Structure formats: structure tokens, C-alpha cells
Amino acid sequence: MTLGYSFSDYVVQIIAGLGTGSVLFLVSAGLTLVFGALRVINFAHGSLTMIGAYVTVSLAGWLGFGNAIFWIVLLLAALVVAAGGLFMEVAFFRPIYRRPLLTQLLVTFAFVLIIAGVIRKVYGARTRTTDVPPFLQGGIDVLDGAIPKYQFFFMAMAVVVAVALWAMLYRTGLGRTIRAAVSDPVLLGLSGVNVRVLFTTVFVIAAFFAGLAGALTTLQGSVGPGLAVDTIIRAFVVVVIGGLGSLSGAFIAAFLVGIAEALGILWVPSASLAIVFAVLVLVLAVRPQGIMGHKA
Amino acid sequence: MTTVAHDASRGGTSLRDSFRSLGHRLRISPAAYETAQKPLMFVSFAMIVFVGLIPLFAGPGDTLLAQQALYLGLLALSLNLLVNTTGLISFGHAMFWALGGYMVASSYKFSIPIFGNPLFALAMTPIMGLVAGFVIGLIVFRGRELYFSLLTLGVAQLVWAVAHGWQSLTGGTNGANGVFAAEWINAFLHPDRLYWFIFGCVLVCTAMLYVITNSPFGDALRGIRDNSRRAEFAGLWVKRYELTAFMIAAMFGAIAGGLSVIGDTQINSGLVDWTLSTRALIVVLLGGVRFFLGPFAGAFFYLYVFNEVIQRTAMWDTVLGVVVLVVALFLQGGLAGLIQWLCALGVTIRDRLTGRQVEEPVAPMSAAAGQAVHLPDIAAAAAGDGDGKVQWADRALVLDVKNLTKSFGGLVAVNDVSFHVREGAIHAIIGPNGAGKTTLFNLITGLIKPDTGEVVLEGEDVTGAAPWRLVKRGMGRSFQQTNLFWELSSLGNVTLAESAVKDATRKLWGSHPEEITNRAKALLDRVGLGSFRSITARELSHGDQRSLEMATALAVESHFLLLDEPTAGISPAETRDAVELIRKIAHEENLTVLFVEHDMEVVFGIADYITVLHYGAVLAEGTPAEIRANPDVQKAYLGEITEEEVAG
């Protein structure tokens, strides 16, 4: 353990942590919404993010990654993943909502395996990289260090998505039904809402943001087959710390985890992950239902 | 096909009809499964012998795979104690394997004097597992269900991160390699001896797990899986049982890990990451959770089949994913379930061919058929409490509720409620919908904690005490919605309740004491369920389920029964039965009964003291006659009780 970092080092690291946390939020927001409404914890959510990343790599390869094209690629990648999510939910998740927890977990986990194999077949086992669009190249000086521009872009995206999701949940009819599903799916079904369609909608929205997060991840550097598992495990941590089903909890926890991870890299470089899990265990030991979760 | 269907419509014997009749004739009855137990035992035994002899005819490669299947199977088997027996899904079971493994590996690496002997270290892995299971259990049991699963994943990741990062101790990704065993089982010199050594260890562990799974303790775990609330009201300290199960699973997981290091001559952080935890779960699923040796079937299948698949295709994980998907969706019994089904099919075919009649289990008759058994001596009961004025003020207090208040948000559900229940009384709590009756019950029975106020049970303050503690003090409770161990037989329900309250379920081996099973049988006879002993609770009629609940409440030897709407949702005929049953048993056992009831006929029929709740507060209390005459009560109930009914 080497301490003796300057104040500037900490600030730079914390800002980088906020950037990582932002992408993490995009993934976790969907995961937590899906859990809240469908009561299924989707192991394959990280795999959706991975698909988003690889699709972005392909699209950027064909179309280039210019300033304007970048936005189109982002949207396309997210839409492709949303379409994949639609297929997954309708074909495989619908039959398992009433099955035991173990079946649900293993069915979603089966998709982690299936997607991992297919991606490796298509893209090979080595990591892939894309360019960074011109307007996001370079860094911004902060104290003695520099922070890549895309980190700030991530933060902006996280805030935009958070506001959009909030507005959707609290200002639209769809949002009201989703919130009703989170608090009591059975009652909602009895009150005449088509729960099946609602579940599919929620799942597709979640897949869309997972894909978007995957597309953004490509800016950070390489994309490899380990992305799915890496993403889902950290997203689980975020969602559990924030409280399953809570969007605001996921928002807070994503940044908490991002910062913990970034500081962990300073303190114990070989085990920054350990710090993240230590945070998880600590938070849950104090508040088993998570920061914003409701007591079961 | 169309012609066949056409023929059928003309009345000829069609192919489809004969198929249908064949299907019907080969329908596998539960009895066939029962009979299939024997061939299944035989198959299991033959398999064990076969696995034990593998080195004699298989090459070194296959022997090594079998050996790996043995410790992977043991890991999965110990996980199944949580997954199937207790109903806890751990996503981090590999952490115990890792701890056991590193224990054996590091002992060798550091040549710590005593621990320098890897076999001694192996012998210590159970203790390591128990301790780790206890400490980690304290953390992960902070969460329930899914939170529990995710917490196990989190802690396992923490353990893994330490193994990964603490290079000097574990060697990180490079890990440790070497012969971690005595010379006589050196993996390179005597692979066969090593195999038998591991086979022997695994066999002993398996036998121990078998005994534990089938012990009274195992019954308690199954009860908890089935219905943890019911378990708590049977007097089980659920958390402690779950923690114990977790520790036992951890112990055998650690042993499996220790064996793996000796067998594989290596350990590194890549071998013990979360994929091992999920592999164990997949193996459990593939093998079939319901059959004890299923996890071993799963482990052998997994290792042999995927060894082939990996050699043939780069998309091995896709293949595995599809297999998992298919098994999870369509083959819930797993491989063992398939074997079980085949055995049962064999039995059915044999019986059809030999014309032997398969004995159908006794069909659960409705309560109506058993009414004669139920009907107690009403006259005797009435004579007991009908005449002389009971001097209630002289009786001892069983329950003393003082100024109980509970609000949910802005709603004050129970507002400063005080009342007593005196010994031997049949005390009713009535009140219009939303009066706070069930909340009051939940406050008294420790399901929720009051904001202010006290609950005193037989002179002792039990405010907010856990249900199982109250049960041990002699309080039994039934619920508004029937609450039983649904998958257990009637006898199992009563036996478990009785065993639990007497702490007989702490026994990790053997079976329930005979006096407990005998008393349970007697109790079932008492409530008229004597002929339904082996029927699972789920299959009983609703009225019979209510009777079974009553028997369970009696089994815990409670002298103070709390019944939440004992007649809710049952037919008028069954209601009369239930009421008489309550009256009769309360009288014979000298029980004190506190009950909530909607049906005024029931209330005024059996209660000898009534407390009326209205908007969370006590509106009136007194004998049935006093309550009838009370104008406030009449006002509160206007519309529910008409004048005539009040007048009696």
C-alpha cells in the first residue's frame, strides 16, 4: 500500500470515479427497474451491455466515428440491444415469472453463457477498440492532472438519463403503471392493466439503456469478452447497495461504487475490486435493504 | 392423420384412441414412484460401486475426470443442502471451497510446523469451513431471498478478490502447484490410490450429509423452506437453523476444496472465482435437486459431456447455456428426475403386464365424510360452561395488554389498547372491518413491534419478542389465511411442530423420538384427520386444513391459543365443526383462547368474554350478554348486526 498521493491525485481519481459511476448507473438503472417491476434479477443484463459495446465497435468500423455519426451509432447500438431484449423477454422470460427463484436465476444465467459463446465466435477472444469521436478527444486539466473529456460526457449522459427516467416514471401514465407494478404487481394485474405488455416495455427500456451504456464503454478503451461479467457483477453491487428496485438508490450507489473503485486503485492497486465488495458488505451489514430500499 | 380422425368419429378404434388409452394405462401414479424407490436405491448403489471401481478399467484421463467429478459433486451436494433442503440459493458457495483449498495449499507452502502436513490441514478444513460459515453467515443472513443470494455473491467476490490480490499468501493468478499430500497418495506416483483416498473421503462426507438431510434437523430445514413463518410459529428459531445449515454446507464445501487441491495438485485464483459457484449451481440443476445423489449425477454429466464439447467446439459456453436453459425450463427434475421417472415407468409397465393392481393412495376425502369423527359431544361442552356464573375477576391473567399503540404512517391502526385475557376464557375480539384486529394480533404475537405499550404473557414482559420465543412459552397461533407446511404430510406437520418446540429438531441424525410421533398421531386422531396422515397438507380440503392447523397449535403444547378468524373461508357446515372443535378442545385441555372473528354467530356461540375494537381503540368489553346490550356496539355494528340478532 503506497500512500502519499497529493490532493490533486485524489481529486482527479474521484472525478474519474464519477465518470465510471455514470456508465455504471446507465446499466444499473435498467437492472433495478427490471427487478422492481418483474421481480426477476437478470444476470444477462451485463451481456446486453456487452452486445451494445460490440455492436458499436462494428458500426464504428463501417460508418466511422465522426461527431455526427457518433450519435447515430449510439442510438443504433441501443436500439439493436433493445430489440434483442424484446426477443429475450417475450420468448424466454415470460414463462418463468412464476417459477422458483433458482429457475429464474439459471435461465437468465444461461443467456450469459449463450451470449458469451456467440460473441467470442463472431468477434474472437481478443479485445477490440474504437476511435473516440473528435469532440470527445483530449482531456480537461484539473489541478495537476488531466481528465479525458469523455468522462465528463459520461456524467452528462448519466444526468440526462436520470432526469429522463425520472420524468418518465413520475410524469407519464406509463411511469405511474410501472411504479404501481413495483409496489404491487398482483394488484396491478387485477386492476386491468396488461401486465405482460408492461413487463415487456420495462424490459425493453432497460435493454435500451444497457446497450447505450455498452456503446459508451467503447470510449474508455478496449472491449473484451469479459465485459459482460465485469459489468453485471458491478451492477449487482450498485443495485443491491442502492436498494433493489430503487432508481434514486441506483444513482447514488453507482457514484459511490465508482468512487470507491477509483480510490481503491490508488490504495490497493491489486485489489480495487475488494474495496468495492467491502463497501457492499459494509452497507448491507448496516442497512440490509440497501440505501433507498424498502424493508421487505 | 385425417383419415384416422375420421375413422374415430365413425366410432372405429382409431390409432389415436389406442395411443390415448396406452397413455392412460401408462400414467405413472404416485404409488409407482413409491415402488420405484427400490430399483432406484439399487441403481444408486450400483452407481456408487461403479464409480468406486473406475480406476480399474478407465484410463488415467477418465479417472482424473471422475475424481474431479467427486469433489465437484461434493461441493454441489453441500450446496444442495441449502438450495433444496433449506430453500436458500447461495451464489457464492465456491468461497468455502477456496478457503479449504488455500488452507491445504498454504500449509504446504509455508511448512507451518503442525500444518506442514497437508493431510492434517485437510483434516482441519471442516473446522475452517464451520468457522467461515459462521462468520460469513452472520453477514449474508442480513438479507432474505434474493438479497441473500446477492450477498453471498458479494462476500464470495470479496474472498476471491483477497485470494486474487494477496499474492504472498495465495500466489494470486499463478497460485500454488505441487503435491499437497503424503507420499503414499502422491498424485504422480500413485494416482489410483489417490483416487480411492478421495473416493473414500467423499463417500464418508456423502453419508454424513445423507444422515443430516434425513434427520429431525433436516425436517426442520424442510419446514423452513416450505413456510418459514409457520416454522417460527412452531417454535423454531429460523435464523439459527438456517445459519447452522449454512455452516454445515460450508464445512463440506471446504472439505471438497481441500480434496480438490490434493487431487488437482494446484490452486489459483482463476479456479475459485464466481464461475465455480455458478458451476456448482448448474451441476445441482442438471443433476436434479430433489434426489439426494442428484448433484453427483450432475457433476459426472457436466465434466464428461463438457470435456467432449470443449474439444469439439469453441462455442462450448453457448452449448452449456442451451443445456441449462432446456433443463431449467423443461426438465425440472434434472438427470436424477429422469432416472426416477424411468424407474417409475418400468414399475408401471411391469404392473400392467403382470396385471398387478397398483394401490392408489387413499384419496383425500372431504371433511364432510369425516364429520362423524369430528362431531364432539356438544351437550357435555355446553354443560361445562353454560350454567354457573364464572367469576372472571378471580382468574389469573394469561395475557395483559397495556396501552398498545401502533401507527403505519399517518394511520393509527391500534390506539392505546388495553385488555386482559384470563385463564380458561374463550375470549373474542370483534370489530368492524379495519378496526385493527389483525394488527393487534400481530403485535401480541411478535410479528410487528408496537410503538408504545406492553404485552405481558403470564407475568412476563414479552413486548416485541420473536414468535418462536412466545411459542416456547406456550402461545400458539393460527392465521387468517391457512398457514401450514404445505409440502409436508399431515403427520409431518404435527410431528415437526411438536419436535420443534421440544428442541428435538436439534438432532442431526436419526429420527424423531417415538413418543413425539405417537403423540402426533394421537393428535391427528383427535381432530379427525387420523386417516389422512400421509396426505400432504396441500391436498387436504380447506376445512381439514383448518383442523390440521388446530392440531399443530396443540402439538406445540400451547395452553394459550390465538386464532385469527378460525372460520374464515369455510363452508357453514365446516364452520359448525370448527367451532365445536375449538370449544371441545379448549374445554378438555383447559386452554385459554383468544380469537378474532367476523361471524357473530360463532362469536356469541362460544365466546365467554368479548372485547370490541372500533377504529383501533377498545369500544367495549364484557360478557356476551353485556356486549349485546351495549348501545355503542350496536351503533358501531349497525348494518352488520340487525336488531333481532342483537336481541339474540
pTM here? 0.85
Which residues of chain A lie closer than 8 angstroms to B147, CB-CB? 240, 244, 284, 288-289, 296
| Grid cell of A124 as nine digits | 474472437
Query: Distance, in angstroms, between A274 CA and closest chain B CA?
Result: 5
User: Quick one: residue B359, left, alpha or beta (phi over 0 = left, psi -120 to 50 = alpha)?
Assistant: beta
Which residues of chain B lie closer than 8 angstroms to A116, CB-CB? 317-318, 321
When pLDDT is cut at 50, 70 and 90, the band that residue A37 belongs to is confident
Q: How far is CA B429 from CA A283, B600, B617, B621, B622, in A?
A: 43, 11, 12, 9, 11
The whole-number pLDDT of residue A40 equals: 85
Which residues of chain B lie closer than 8 angstroms to A41, CB-CB? 146, 149-150
Residues on B contacting A at a C-beta cutoff of 8 Å: 83, 89, 91, 139, 142-147, 149-151, 153-155, 157-158, 161-162, 164-167, 172, 274, 278, 281-282, 285, 289, 314-322, 324-325, 328-329, 332
Contact flag B89-A102 (C-beta cutoff 8 Å): yes
Which residues of chain A lie closer than 8 angstroms to B94, CB-CB? none
Residue-wise pLDDT tens digits, A117-173: 999 889 888 888 888 888 888 888 877 778 888 889 999 999 999 999 999 988 988
d(CA B458, CA A197): 55
Nearest CB to A114: which of B281, B318, B329? B318
The whole-number pLDDT of residue B109 equals: 64
Which residues of chain A lie closer than 8 angstroms to B145, CB-CB? 101, 296
Nearest to A140 by CA among A130, A150, A132, A131: A150
d(CA B607, CA B579): 10
Query: Distance, in angstroms, between A140 CA and closest chain B CA?
Result: 33
Contact flag A270-B164 (C-beta cutoff 8 Å): yes
Please check whether residue A201 is in contact with residue A174, taking contact to mean a CB–CB distance below 8 angstroms: yes
Handedness of CA B263, B264, B265, B267 (dihedral sign): negative
d(CA B503, CA B491): 18
Quick one: DSSP state of residue B460? E
Quick one: DSSP state of residue A92? I
Nearest CB to A240: which of B147, B274, B322? B147
d(CA A237, CA A233): 6
Q: Is the pLDDT of residue A291 over 90?
A: no
Residue A270's closest chain B neighbor by CA?
B165
- β-partners of residue B427 are B594, B609
Which residues of chain A lie closer than 8 angstroms to B324, CB-CB? 106-107, 109-110, 113
Which residues of chain B lie closer than 8 angstroms to A244, CB-CB? 146-147
Contact flag B328-A101 (C-beta cutoff 8 Å): no
Query: Distance, in angstroms, between B141 CA and closest chain A CA?
Result: 9
Which residues of chain B lie closer than 8 angstroms to A95, CB-CB? 329
Nearest CB to A273: which of B83, B161, B285? B161
d(CA A56, CA B445): 58
Question: Which of B91, B139, B146, B269 to mutate to probe the A interface, most A CBs <10 Å?
Answer: B146
A273 touches chain B (CB under 8 A): yes
Query: Distance, in angstroms, between A35 CA and closest chain B CA?
Result: 10
Nearest CB to B317: which of A103, A107, A113? A113
d(CA A84, CA A278): 34
Contact flag B164-A103 (C-beta cutoff 8 Å): no
A111 touches chain B (CB under 8 A): yes
Which residues of chain B lie closer than 8 angstroms to A117, CB-CB? 314-319, 321
Residue B273's closest chain A neighbor by CA?
A229
Question: Which of B136, B278, B318, B323 to mutate to probe the A interface, most A CBs <10 Å?
Answer: B318
Mean pLDDT by 10 residues, chain B (648 residues): 42 62 68 78 90 90 93 96 92 94 79 66 92 94 84 88 81 78 79 92 96 93 89 88 96 96 88 89 88 91 87 86 89 82 83 66 44 38 45 78 85 86 87 82 86 87 85 80 85 88 84 87 86 86 84 81 79 79 80 85 84 86 85 70 47
- Mean pLDDT value across chain A: 87
> Residue-wise over A227-246: b if at least 16 C-beta within 10 A, else e?
bbbbbbbbbbbbbbbbbbbb
Q: For the residues A172-191, what does the mean pLDDT come to?
A: 81
Per-residue 3-state assignment (H helix, E strand, C coil) for B116-159: CCHHHHHHHHHHHHHHHHHHHHHHHCCCCHHHHHHHHHHHHHHH
The whole-number pLDDT of residue B369 equals: 41
Strand pairing class (B617-622; B609-614): antiparallel
Q: How far is CA A88 from CA A45, A209, B68, B640, in A?
A: 11, 16, 34, 52
Percent of chain A predicted with pLDDT > 90: 38
- Write the CB contacts of B348 (distance below 8 Å, at least 6 apart in sequence): B26, B27, B28, B29, B32, B358
A101 touches chain B (CB under 8 A): yes
d(CA A13, CA A21): 12
Contact flag B324-A113 (C-beta cutoff 8 Å): yes
A134 touches chain B (CB under 8 A): no
d(CA A49, CA A119): 12
d(CA B289, CA B298): 10
Q: What are phi and psi of B595, to 5 degrees?
A: -140, 150
